[in-house]
Amino acid sequence: MISALVRKLGMYKSRKQGEEKIFTCPRCHRQKMEVNLHKEVFHCLRCNYSGALRALFRELSIEQSYDGKKDYRPLDFRADLRESAIAQVIPGFKQFTEESCNSMLDFLNSRGFLTSEDFQRIGFMGWGTSSDRRYRNRLMIPIYEGDVIGSWIARSTDKSEPKELSGPNRGDFLYNINEVKPGSRVIIVEGVFDCEAVRRAGHICVSSSGAHMTAVQMGKLISRKPSGVQLFYDGDDAGDKGARASMGDWLQRSSIPITTCYLPISKDPDELSAQELKELLR
């Protein structure tokens, strides 16, 4: 339901309080249209366009009745990966079912994942079903190095704390390192969703899973022989300190050029649009 609207109207904003999601209105083209999925109504605060969601779906030519049917197609996972094999590495990992995927669409859409191909980008996502309560109902994200799952992230999707739980030795691995080829320019960010946002803006990107690169992570990236790297950490104090520390360590270990791109204060890369990222990372 929500993903169909995102595909037609673009990304939305969520109210800090209340159920409404704010989309761009198809009539006045301002991001002022409130959509309430539970009440199945919409209302534009700018031009007063309003009505039942069914009417909005008809106007947008969404050939999907608003009756609880899924508006996404099943995920087509890599055939060589098996749920049982991954479960041996990631506690309680269970491949997405329609029900579990649908319940996470709101979170995934808000992070820019709009299609099944986008979902696959974070590497055979799963749903935490472990008897260990720490991982239950979390988004399980494997971190690959080659064909091996080196570690993983258990990500909260309902604002529960901690936001992320780390798999073993996560500081030894870089998310998305498989895309780094000799001679490529690489952007380094803190989080997985930051990495995906930068990728969508057209750059090769890895995540250090925190505001500082470890010596092991640096060594693995240097061994890939990139032409240059750019630190693009969050625009807060931790991000600034991490970038300074990582740059100092990198300069001591490698002659590969390194630069820093500073974000607006208190912003994360995945909070910026693709156009904003392209302008910052030119």
Tokens, residue 263: 């974000």
Q: What is the CA radius of gyration of the chain?
A: 20
Q: Are residues 92 and 149 in the same domain?
A: yes
In a domain, 70, yes or no: no
Q: Are residues 164 and 182 in the same domain?
A: no
Query: First and final CA of the chain: distance in angstroms?
Result: 36
Task: Name the average pLDDT for the chain.
Answer: 79
The pTM score is 0.66
CA 74 to chain centre: 19
Q: Are residues 17 and 48 in the same domain?
A: yes
Q: Are residues 151 and 182 in the same domain?
A: no
The residue out of 147, 170, 193 marking a domain boundary is 170
In a domain, 209, yes or no: yes
Q: Are residues 247 and 269 in the same domain?
A: yes
Q: Are residues 209 and 252 in the same domain?
A: yes
Q: Which residue's entry shows tokens 């029900």? A: 99
In a domain, 73, yes or no: no
As for how many domains the chain has, the answer is 3
Q: Are residues 166 and 92 in the same domain?
A: yes
Q: Are residues 205 and 276 in the same domain?
A: yes
The residue out of 150, 170, 190 marking a domain boundary is 170
Domain CATH code at residue 265: 3.40.1360.10
DSSP track, 89-122: TSTTEEEPPHHHHHHHHHHHHHTT--SHHHHHTT
Q: Are residues 144 and 185 in the same domain?
A: no
Q: Which residue's entry shows tokens 């490698």? A: 254
In a domain, 75, yes or no: no
Contact 182/225 with Cβ under 8 angstroms?
A: yes
DSSP-assigned beta bridge partners for residue 186: 204, 229
Tokens, residue 104: 């996470």
Report CA torsion sign: 197, 186, 250, 170: positive
Q: Are residues 134 and 156 in the same domain?
A: yes
Where does residue 198 fall: left (phi above 0), alpha (psi -120 to 50 degrees), or beta otherwise?
alpha
- Long-range own/partner contacts, residues 136-142 (CB < 8 A, 24 or more apart): 136/92, 138/165, 139/104, 139/107, 140/90, 140/92, 140/93, 141/175, 141/192, 142/86, 142/89, 142/90
Residues shown for the chain: 282
Strands (E), 75-182: 93-95, 126-128, 139-145, 148-155, 164-166
Task: Please give the Cα distance from 164 to 170 (Å, whole number).
Answer: 12
Contact 55/90 with Cβ under 8 angstroms?
A: no
Q: Are residues 103 and 152 in the same domain?
A: yes
CB neighbours of residue 59 within 10 Å: 13
Instruction: Using 70 as the pLDDT threshold, list the residues of the chain that sit under it.
Output: 1, 3, 6-7, 10-11, 63-85, 88, 95-103, 105, 114-125, 265-266
The residue out of 170, 185, 206 marking a domain boundary is 170
CB neighbours of residue 164 within 10 Å: 17
CA angle 232, 278, 186 (to 5 degrees): 45
In a domain, 197, yes or no: yes
Tokens, residue 107: 């979170």
Domain CATH code at residue 47: 3.90.580.10
Task: Please give the Cα distance from 214 to 48 (Å, whole number).
Answer: 53
Structural domain for 11, as ranges: 2-59
Q: Are residues 34 and 49 in the same domain?
A: yes
